[in-house]
Structure 1
Amino acid sequence: MIRLNWTDEQKNRIIELSKQGLSSPKVAQQMFDEYGINFSRRTVARFIATGHTSSHYKGKPKSKVKDVKRGTEIVINKDGSTTSSTTMQMTAEQAKDPDFVLRAHGFNPDDWDIVSARNNFWQQNSQENGLIDLYQSKITVKPKVDKDIKRAVEVLTRDIKPLKVKHSLDSSRKRNLVIPITDNHWGITHLSDVQDKLSELLDIIKQGYGTIVIEMIGDMLHSDKINSTETVSGTVLEDVDMPKAIDEAMQFTEAIVVTALENANTVMIKSVGGNHDFDISYMFMIWIKERFKQAQVDVNNRYRTAYLLGHVLISIQHGNVNKKNPAQILANECRHLWGIATTTEIHSGHLHFDKTEDQNGVVFRQFSTPKPSDDWETMNGFVGSNKLMYALEYSDDRLKVEHFI
């Protein structure tokens, strides 16, 4: 090996590369790439440790690189996961231990699962500890699903026993009542937001009716998932507490259904899913059917459904699909009911504002929502619509009274 007289520039470059965490072989390779000179790996290692290139040097080792505090970079991803990058000291066995890696990044293993992990190894001299093993560690984690799902299951099954309500028939109840419930977005909406409206609705129900129909027209719940806040299509939303949202939706629904059973000869509950909650609303309707055996509950996974109330044909659909010609679709899908009806209506929501339109004898009723404006609506200025609930009184053949609550 030819003896080299290293320049100050080359010595400073070796020190710089060493401080970056490169091993002696990698420093030697980098020096060859930059200067075209074959630096001995052993001599490079000696120079890093002692500050001298000669093998005959017996003096005190050069001051070693001091330990430094290493920061952690945290990135919160759109899919609800979190990515953490940091430099840490650990052994090869510890690098294989998910719980150790989670704790090293500041995550509790009881609350988080590792989605992916990458640990890159090198060695570095430490003034306090000598030669130490270091890892550049990058992990992506997600909150454990089990914890929130367990809470949600506990909520949904807490009162699974059928509820028996004192129910009596009264021949004096002539009119029928339809209660459209759409776009409540529980999670954004809380019971405190609608308490007064609920009390007013219950007072209307207590007047007594032949048939009460409760229409669940979609987006009752803000998210279609429990652990993350997303629509059924995967659009990421602002975070809400879904177990709490389900609990409040259950309390709200139970208050209406129980009062309806006490004050109507027949109670029907019709439903369609929304673009936010299509899947989870199906599960919610199963709970309703099991809970209220005295009601006629329609559990389905359709985008629209229809029923006959006396001689009034009513179709419900959320409003995000089948926009082109819903009246014609209704006539084709429900030919028999269409022929019996003297009045035909289509009820929808989705757009969060009130609108009624008569198109060639078919009345389209688009209902508003009582929910407070969320961050997205506020940002885009969609804050002017009335925050309403509704109750519609029908005779055998047409609408008689419309309550704006």
Structure 2
Amino acid sequence: MDFEKRISDYGMTPEQYEASFAEITAKVQGNSDKDWTEIIDQYSIPLSRNTLRNACSNVYGSVFVKEYFDEKRRKEMEVNSEPITDEPAPLSLPRYKEQTDVNKDGSFTSDRLIEINEENLKNPEFLLNAHGYDPLEWELVSARNSIWNQGGKSGVKNLYASKINVKPRTEISITLNKIEEFFNRLDRNYSKPKILKNNFYLDGDKLLLVDIADLHMNLQATLFSTNNEYNCEIAEKLFFYVIEDILSRTEKYNFKEIIFCIGGDMLNGDNLSGTTTKGTPQNSDIHYYDAYEKLCSMVIKAIDILKERCKVSVIYVMGNHDELTGFKLAKYVDAWFRDDNNVEVDYQPLPRKYKVFGKTLFCFAHDGDIKKLPMLIADEAREFWSKVDTTEVFLQHLHTEQILLEDNNIRIQRLPTISAKSKWSNDKGYSSKRQCKSFIFDFNNGLTDILYTTIKNV
């Protein structure tokens, strides 16, 4: 009988036939729960469900099957030059037809023949590994295993037709193996990088801006009445402490220019009555004449110290406490340094002052309306717009540091103070960190550094 021809008439190869026969045998023996229709679909058997179940005259009939495998056994033994005996040989089955399906719900179905013992039949991790799925990344949804003992010269193997359904894990488990795998990828020969020090920050023309805002010289405050102490002696001490701190921290710089702001409530009162410019009474430490003389002496000494480094541009900023006194101070400074080419004084009594350094436009004012300032500056400093990239606006008055606006290359900020609290500000509950904020600008790059001089203990 030409077995292979008859099998090919069914559209199958000998391998497909033997695999399908092993599946049918497992089904008949009760070792597989696959449906007959499922077996037909898997192996493309050209028979109906009932015909396959009642096979007798076709290729799955008992006579054909026996003769087929007897003939196959004789051929194998002839090839291996082994003597033919009448002892039955174990059935050698071909490779199982494996397949993997992707389901609509995103899960995967895997069907393959695996070697497994009964102990691992209920082990999800083993089944996942056997089907090629990492248990850390995949979750077993269902499993169906049907025994299929495959025989050969080496004996019978415990094989199972295994069909599992899996889905990706939403949360990846962390295990010791994963941790070890991660650290194995790290560079064990890591060496700390070397930091190459340079002085590039000193290159180019630089400007130092010093604005000791709202000094309130001659304010009298005591621990008993304001919970902090302040007077002319303390104010003078803090004033020069700021100057020394700034110059010490910038000693490596070769500044092209220093801007030094005066006025801006440097003196707490503006007249012999000890009131502000508009007449608000103040608690004064000493007589107005004495306070004004001390202030003039302090400012002259400060400018003498600063001009040893480079040219000093003194800018008078009108304050609300000392508008007249600040103007007189600026005129006094201008007269003192009238023959000194290293000192330039702007004593104009204007509410806003402008100066350009390189690509930066400076605007100085004691206070201002944040909504109106950008338009005012655009109008008042229109001659500078084509020369600058950024505009820096410095306000005082409220004794606290604030960035009020930073948009369209214009930054408006309010400066802090080193002054103590008055009885009025203490009664109102106003409080902020006592410090002076100074700045370093580059001719081409604008603001590069900010220096804070903090008042710790007085």
User: Where does residue 22 of structure 1 map in the other structure?
Assistant: none
Deviations 1:137-165 (A, max 9, x none): xxxxxxxxxxxxxxxxxxxxxxxxxxxxx
Query: Residues 208, 247 of structure 1: CA spacing in aligned structure 2 closer, same or farther, 3 A cutoff?
Result: farther
Q: Which TM-score applies when normalising by structure 1?
A: 0.54
Report deviation, 1:255.
3.1
Mapped to 2, the partners of 1:245 and 1:180 lie a distance apart of 20
2:421 aligned with 1:373: yes
Query: Residues 271, 204 of structure 1: CA spacing in aligned structure 2 closer, same or farther, 3 A cutoff?
Result: farther
Mapped to 2, the partners of 1:246 and 1:201 lie a distance apart of 25
- Contact 2:213/2:396, CA 8 A, preserved across alignment: yes
Deviations 1:208-261 (A, max 9, x none): 311111123511111111x21111111112233223322332243223211221
Describe the SS at the equivalent of 2:307.
helix
2:280 aligned with 1:244: no
Describe the SS at the equivalent of 1:345.
strand
Counterpart AA for 1:174: D
User: Where does residue 213 of structure 1 map in the other structure?
Assistant: 259
User: Where does residue 430 of structure 2 map in the other structure?
Assistant: 382
Mapped to 1, the partners of 2:269 and 2:323 lie a distance apart of 9
Mapped to 2, the partners of 1:187 and 1:205 lie a distance apart of 30
Counterpart AA for 1:215: C
Mapped to 2, the partners of 1:306 and 1:350 lie a distance apart of 18
User: Where does residue 355 of structure 1 map in the other structure?
Assistant: 402
User: Where does residue 205 of structure 2 map in the other structure?
Assistant: 174
Report deviation, 1:280.
1.3
Counterpart AA for 1:379: D
Mapped to 1, the partners of 2:370 and 2:215 lie a distance apart of 21
Mapped to 2, the partners of 1:205 and 1:243 lie a distance apart of 35
User: Where does residue 196 of structure 1 map in the other structure?
Assistant: 241
User: Where does residue 387 of structure 2 map in the other structure?
Assistant: 340
2:309 aligned with 1:263: yes
Deviations 1:358-400 (A, max 9, x none): 13321112101101111111112112x1111122110013100
Counterpart AA for 2:420: P
2:279 aligned with 1:234: yes
Mapped to 1, the partners of 2:257 and 2:314 lie a distance apart of 11
Describe the SS at the equivalent of 1:318.
coil
- Contact 1:349/1:368, CA 8 A, preserved across alignment: yes
Mapped to 2, the partners of 1:363 and 1:228 lie a distance apart of 38
Mapped to 2, the partners of 1:195 and 1:333 lie a distance apart of 34
Mapped to 2, the partners of 1:324 and 1:234 lie a distance apart of 28
Mapped to 2, the partners of 1:200 and 1:404 lie a distance apart of 9
Deviations 1:318-368 (A, max 9, x none): 01x444311110111111112211111111100100012413321112101
Q: Of residues 377, 393, 398 in structure 1, which corresponds to 2:440?
A: 393
Deviations 1:168-188 (A, max 9, x none): xxx987211111132111112
Counterpart AA for 2:273: S
Q: Of residues 254, 276, 279 in structure 1, which corresponds to 2:300?
A: 254
- Contact 2:217/2:266, CA 8 A, preserved across alignment: yes
Q: Which TM-score applies when normalising by structure 2?
A: 0.48
Q: Of residues 313, 332, 336 in structure 2, which corresponds to 1:291?
A: 336
Counterpart AA for 1:212: I
2:360 aligned with 1:281: no
Mapped to 1, the partners of 2:211 and 2:417 lie a distance apart of 10
2:214 aligned with 1:183: yes
| Structure 2 gap ranges (5+) | 1-201, 220-230, 454-458
Query: Residues 289, 194 of structure 1: CA spacing in aligned structure 2 closer, same or farther, 3 A cutoff?
Result: closer
Query: Residues 284, 365 of structure 1: CA spacing in aligned structure 2 closer, same or farther, 3 A cutoff?
Result: same
Query: Residues 253, 390 of structure 1: CA spacing in aligned structure 2 closer, same or farther, 3 A cutoff?
Result: farther
2:352 aligned with 1:304: yes
Query: Residues 221, 231 of structure 1: CA spacing in aligned structure 2 closer, same or farther, 3 A cutoff?
Result: same
- Contact 2:204/2:443, CA 8 A, preserved across alignment: no
User: Where does residue 56 of structure 2 map in the other structure?
Assistant: none
- Contact 1:229/1:240, CA 8 A, preserved across alignment: no
Mapped to 1, the partners of 2:356 and 2:296 lie a distance apart of 27
Stretches of 4+ aligned residues off by more than 6 angstroms: none
- Contact 2:389/2:409, CA 8 A, preserved across alignment: no
Report deviation, 1:194.
4.0
- Contact 1:371/1:387, CA 8 A, preserved across alignment: yes
Mapped to 1, the partners of 2:413 and 2:337 lie a distance apart of 28
Residue correspondence of structure 1 range 7-26 to structure 2 within 5 A: none
- Contact 1:173/1:209, CA 8 A, preserved across alignment: no
* Higher radius of gyration, 1 or 2: 2
C-alpha RMSD of the superposition: 2.1
2:347 aligned with 1:316: no
- Contact 1:212/1:267, CA 8 A, preserved across alignment: yes
- Contact 1:180/1:217, CA 8 A, preserved across alignment: no
Mapped to 2, the partners of 1:387 and 1:244 lie a distance apart of 26
Describe the SS at the equivalent of 1:262.
coil
Counterpart AA for 2:323: F
- Contact 2:263/2:326, CA 8 A, preserved across alignment: no
- Contact 1:184/1:369, CA 8 A, preserved across alignment: yes
- Contact 1:183/1:349, CA 8 A, preserved across alignment: yes
- Contact 2:438/2:450, CA 8 A, preserved across alignment: yes
Describe the SS at the equivalent of 2:435.
coil
- Contact 1:217/1:317, CA 8 A, preserved across alignment: no
Mapped to 2, the partners of 1:259 and 1:197 lie a distance apart of 12
- Contact 1:173/1:210, CA 8 A, preserved across alignment: no
Mapped to 2, the partners of 1:198 and 1:310 lie a distance apart of 25
Residues matched between the structures, number: 231
- Contact 2:352/2:364, CA 8 A, preserved across alignment: yes
Mapped to 1, the partners of 2:363 and 2:384 lie a distance apart of 11
Describe the SS at the equivalent of 1:254.
helix
Describe the SS at the equivalent of 2:333.
helix
Describe the SS at the equivalent of 1:403.
strand
Counterpart AA for 1:381: G
User: Where does residue 55 of structure 1 map in the other structure?
Assistant: none
- Contact 1:312/1:342, CA 8 A, preserved across alignment: yes
